[in-house]
Amino acid sequence: MKLYQVDAFTDEVFSGNPAAVIPLEEWLDADAMQNIAAENNLSETAYFVKEPDGTFTIRWFTPKTEVDICGHATLASAHVLFEHLDFDGEKVVFQSKSGELTVEKREDIYWMNFPATPPEPIPVPKLLPDAIGTIPIFTGVNRDMIVLLHDEETVQTLKPDYGLLERMEVRGIVVTAEGNDCDFVSRYFAPSMGIYEDPVTGSAHTLLAPFWGKRLGKSSLNARQISKRGGNIQCNQKGDRVEIGGSAVTYMIGEINI
């Protein structure tokens, strides 16, 4: 099998979020896909199969488990189709456990169209202040937990207690604040999924974009995930959908033998 390793949400290697992409003629069994993802040891490995109607069914695996949605590995998969597999359509249509997801390439940006998942406010969980070392301004949940902090510096210098974060009953925890040089910044932690800190998390912006759009009164937002690798994300609110845009670059092409 051919394997592509793509850095997503960046236009240069060694930054953004690396994803493995494995095009398949037919599905492997789930155990094999999980073992490959564990062997790759990246935050996500994406697999897709072309369907007779020209769409693609996509699945995503962390080193630990299969997930229902992933942004950066979807962007990376579209990049592989456009740049390496001679896809000549205007829009890639992926079928997934989270419904239909589309990706268009406009100039050098891949625009993913995902369902918006605005957060519902919740009381601050009892363990959270100890887990992140500060008291948040706001907490909310919709698949992930969103944690609003006072400023970009607090987000940047955060040193979470991963053991406590793992006890939160959510997929991941995204900490965020208004940005100094962009609309907002964030970091994303998902220890329960086998990912201590994800470099750039496209799917978290289905939560962040409606939250910050409402808070700032804007429908188009520029964001940065301020992990060690870092990445730039553009967001457009489209009713109950969110367009999430970013660049991608191929780091490696290889073969898997099992």
Find out whether 137 and 107 touch, Cβ atoms under 8 Å: no
Q: Which amino acid is at 69?
A: I
Alpha carbon separation from 8 to 44, 114, 213, 238, 245 (Å, rounded)? 11, 16, 23, 22, 10
Local structure of residue 199 (DSSP, 8 states):
S
Q: Please pick, among 44, 152, 197, 243, the residue that the annotation labels catalytic.
A: 44
Q: How many C-beta atoms lie closer than 10 Å to residue 76's C-beta?
A: 32
Residue reference for tokens 């092409």 = 253
Backbone dihedral angles phi then psi of residue 122, each to the nearest 5 degrees: -135, 155
Token pair listed for 91: 């829009």
Active site residue 44: yes
Instruction: Tell me which residues are annotated as active site.
Output: 44
